[in-house]
Amino acid sequence: AVETLDEQEAERLRAEVEQKMQEILQILDEETLQLSEFLMEEKNLTVELCTLLRHILKKLHISFNIPPKNVPLREKMKKVVLNEECHLIVMYEKGEVDSMFLAEYPPEIVMAVLWDVIPELAKAITIYRKKISTRVNFFGKLRKQLKNIFKAMVASKGNARVEEGETLDAVKQALEEKPEQPEQ
């Protein structure tokens, strides 16, 4: 009877261990699947972000000096630059230089670089927007003045008054009129 109890206890313990192992394997399967999906998504997002960033940096004609202490590389670095092609250029103290598209670096390095660059990029975009705003304001004022000059010229031709809506019709008509041929 004693052997039967020990055998039953051993069987129960074995069943418990087996069930726990099944649960752990199930968790590992689920985690592996999620990990695989996240790694794929991370790679896709990294490439997309870096490609978009490259277009923006090219348009703005800017590059960024990044403090070497902010980039988690093992070797000692002298200088780190993200150029307008979105290449991370790393100059090491030993004199070696690495240059690759940012998305080709490990995600931890991409994250560190973006963490450093994005606030500076925001400032650059603000400056760029202000430049465009200044041009738009200038063009708007100039358009108003040119319309006034055009209206005055059309009015002097005999038209008593040209309304705002008629301006484009008058421009179209003036362009369609054939210029007078000089006498020879």
Query: What is the pLDDT tens value at each position of the chain, 184 positions in all?
Result: 556 668 888 888 999 999 999 999 999 999 999 999 999 999 999 999 999 999 999 999 999 999 999 999 888 999 999 999 999 999 999 999 999 999 999 999 999 999 999 999 999 999 999 999 999 999 999 999 999 999 999 888 765 454 555 666 666 665 565 544 444 4
Of 73, 66, 149, which Cα lies nearest the Cα of 113? 66
Q: Which residues of 167-176 are buried (b: 16+ CB within 10 A; e: fewer)?
A: eeebeeeeee
| Domain edges within the chain | 2-131
Chain-centroid distance, C-alpha 114: 10
Of 77, 106, 101, 104, which Cα lies nearest the Cα of 91? 77
Whole-number Å distance between alpha carbons of 96 and 68: 14
Let me know the angle formed at the C-alpha of 45 by 44 and 46, rounded to the nearest 5 degrees.
Answer: 90
Question: pTM for the full model?
Answer: 0.68
| Number of DSSP helices (H) and strands (E) in the chain, helices first | 3, 4
Backbone angles phi and psi of 91, in degrees to 5:
-105, 120
Backbone angles phi and psi of 109, in degrees to 5:
-75, -40
